[in-house]
């Protein structure tokens, strides 16, 4: 069974140390909870740690919460071998756009998967910009299709 770690937590164990690490980069605010759908896709998957930045309860009244969240995300993005980007409908996903630019363009050691909801307003922009990065990305129109591709990749590298 995969290990799911929700922001801002961490798990220290032998198992999680040796697992493949997957970060779920994508919309959190004003969009569907696609992370829960993705996590369900990996319910029975072995040797995988999933970092989920979506918290059940974000303490909006805590001024340090944003810094803690952003730092946690940065550290887990750094530690992950695989980053899935999901551009959800309902939000322009500005932070996700930034993260895609940063991690897909500057870190060739990361395996990147890009999913774009068919109703995402800036779909064409994401495809054009990532194509200009001179990397051959595949694009997925459903969380299920993207998770299947990630599973196949993990099986291939394991």
Nearest to 83 by CA among 20, 36, 37: 20
Nearest to 117 by CA among 149, 95, 85: 85
> Per-residue confidence of the chain (158 residues) as pLDDT tens digits?
899 999 999 998 888 888 999 999 999 989 999 999 999 999 988 899 999 999 988 888 898 999 999 999 999 999 999 999 999 999 999 999 999 999 988 777 899 999 999 999 999 999 999 988 877 899 999 999 999 999 999 999 88
| Domain residue limits, the chain | 3-157
Is residue 21 within 8 A of residue 42, CB to CB? The reply is no
- CATH class of the domain comprising 3-157: alpha beta
Stated pTM of the model: 0.95
Distance, CA of 73 to CA of 76 (rounded, Å): 5
Backbone angles phi, psi at 123, to 5 degrees: -55, -50
């Amino acid at each position: 069974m995969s290990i799911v770690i929700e922001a801002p937590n961490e798990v220290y164990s032998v198992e999680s140390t040796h697992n493949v690490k997957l970060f779920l980069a994508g919309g959190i605010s004003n969009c569907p909870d696609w992370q829960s759908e993705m996590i369900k896709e990996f319910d029975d998957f072995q040797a995988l740690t999933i970092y989920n930045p979506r918290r059940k309860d974000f303490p909006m009244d805590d001024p340090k919460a944003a810094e803690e969240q952003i730092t946690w995300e940065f550290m887990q993005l750094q530690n992950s071998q695989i980053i899935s980007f999901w551009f959800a409908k309902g939000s322009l996903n500005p932070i996700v756009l930034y993260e895609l630019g940063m991690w897909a363009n500057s870190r060739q050691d990361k395996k990147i998967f890009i999913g774009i909801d068919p109703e995402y307003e800036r779909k064409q922009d994401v495809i054009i910009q990532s194509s200009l990065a001179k990397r051959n990305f595949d694009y997925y129109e459903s969380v299920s299709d993207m998770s299947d591709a990630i599973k196949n990749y993990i099986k291939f590298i394991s």
